[in-house]
Structure 1
């Protein structure tokens, strides 16, 4: 699920550089699983940014600390949107490797999104 966005640069300055992603642990806590910077069209970036602006929050919704680089720059949002993300594997520290955005899912609720294994 989407829990935040990091600033973009260049052509993406007005939207975002990437999404901050999380999954639910078995005990219902939100844990960061990485971020996706690839797979977006210009139109999807504008659409997602407009939707995220409506659910913005001041603090991280994560139960643990996000990676430091993310924590410094992220714009946090309520965890209400589910993104379909394609990735190659999970790293040893539980982060997605080579994640790429596919689309926003409407058939799943954020509570249904677990930690990939």
Structure 2
């Protein structure tokens, strides 16, 4: 995602995500190849609000709007 983040937003989000970092992915199936070798994993705590133009197998023109004020457990 390349837009919607100010420097201050990035710093705040980084601190929040570092606090919930976990050593392993939350998936039951193993990741293919070395996918995930450079990734960091976090617990599902926060819900992000992302606006995008369309979905064509992936998001087109995603833009970060911020964190939502709802628990991640309520999102399906």
SS at match of 2:47: strand
Moved more, 69-78 or 81-90: 69-78
Tell me how far 1:89 sits from its aligned partner.
Answer: 1.3
Tell me how far 1:51 sits from its aligned partner.
Answer: 0.6
- Bigger-Rg structure (1/2): 2
Alignment of 1:69-80 (within 5 A): 71-80=36-45
Alignment of 1:1-117 (within 5 A): 36-63=1-28, 71-92=36-57, 95-106=58-69, 108-114=70-76
TM-score with structure 2 setting the length = 0.78
CA RMSD of aligned residues (A): 2.4
Q: 1:65 to 1:111 in 2, by over 3 A?
A: farther
Q: How many residues align?
A: 76
The separation in 1 between residues aligned to 2:61 and 2:55, in whole angstroms, is: 9
Structure 1 unmatched runs, 5+? 1-35
Structure 2 unmatched runs, 5+? none
TM-score with structure 1 setting the length = 0.54
The separation in 1 between residues aligned to 2:30 and 2:2, in whole angstroms, is: 20
